[in-house]
Amino acid sequence: MSEALAPIRIGVVSISDRASSGIYEDKGIPALQEWLERAVRNPIAWEPRLIPDEQDGIAATLRELVDSARCDLVLTTGGTGPAPRDVTPEATLAVADKLMPGFGEQMRQISLNFTPTAILSRQVAVIRGKALIINLPGQPKSIAETLEGLKDRGVHGIFSAVPYCIDLIGGPYIETDEAVCKAFRPKNAIRAPR
């Protein structure tokens, strides 16, 4: 069934000094890939990167993933708190053509259901060229919650808006598995399922 769907290229970037230096195993990239493989019906070409918390290096990686690797979507995990080494939002803003503040607002809203320290999170989302770049939380459980939402509480996850956003910026038409995450599009933007 998926052979009729447009392929999508997704960059998954885990930003961690300790994981990138081998002190401990990275859990961010596997968590991102596992969730996306369940949620997205399109064939996915992965562009994984495990890098340290260095602002210039993060910005260079994001530029490379969009400009050279031609990713349609780039998801980062890690480096979004208030600590001195947390510079992912600054690096992301440095490569942005447009800011998409609703994604960060909704991620913090979801996380506030679990912890009052969610207000310390500084995740941002931006458009660069024809790609959407989103900073996600660092913990695998939080990654899934912010992407998928809290269905039992009627709270939408951010990924429900990702396919339509990518439509609007000229990317491929992404179909999702509605059991995991229903993509929202206005009626006039919905294509017949393949």
Residues 95-147 pLDDT 10s? 999 999 999 999 999 999 999 999 999 999 999 999 999 999 989 999 999 99
Report if residue 102 sits inside a domain.
Answer: yes
Q: Which residues contact 177 (CB under 8 A, 6 or more apart)?
A: 38, 39, 40, 41
Structure tokens at 122: 């500084």
Please tell me the distance from the alpha carbon of residue 74 to that of residue 55, in angstroms, as a whole number.
Answer: 16
Report if residue 161 sits inside a domain.
Answer: yes
pLDDT for residue 134: 98
pLDDT for residue 1: 41
CATH number reported for the structural domain that contains residue 151 in this entry:
3.40.980.10
Report if residue 122 sits inside a domain.
Answer: yes
Report if residue 194 sits inside a domain.
Answer: no
- The residue ranges of the chain whose pLDDT is under 50 are 1-3
* pTM of structure: 0.95
Q: Which residues contact 168 (CB under 8 A, 6 or more apart)?
A: none
pLDDT for residue 194: 63
- How far from 22 is each of 49, 52, 87, 150, CA to CA, in Å? 14, 11, 20, 33
Residue 62: which domain range? 2-189
CB 4 within 8 A of CB 193: no
Please tell me the distance from the alpha carbon of residue 8 to that of residue 15, in angstroms, as a whole number.
Answer: 22
Overall domain count for the chain: 1
Question: ∠ CA(105), CA(110), CA(115), 5° rounding?
Answer: 110
3-state secondary structure at position 107: helix
Residue from 44, 63, 158 nearest 101 by CA: 158
What percentage of the chain reaches a pLDDT higher than 90?
Answer: 88
CB 83 within 8 A of CB 114: no
pLDDT for residue 120: 96
Question: Which residue blocks in the chain are alpha helix, DSSP H?
Answer: 17-20, 28-39, 55-63, 88-94, 101-111, 140-148, 162-168
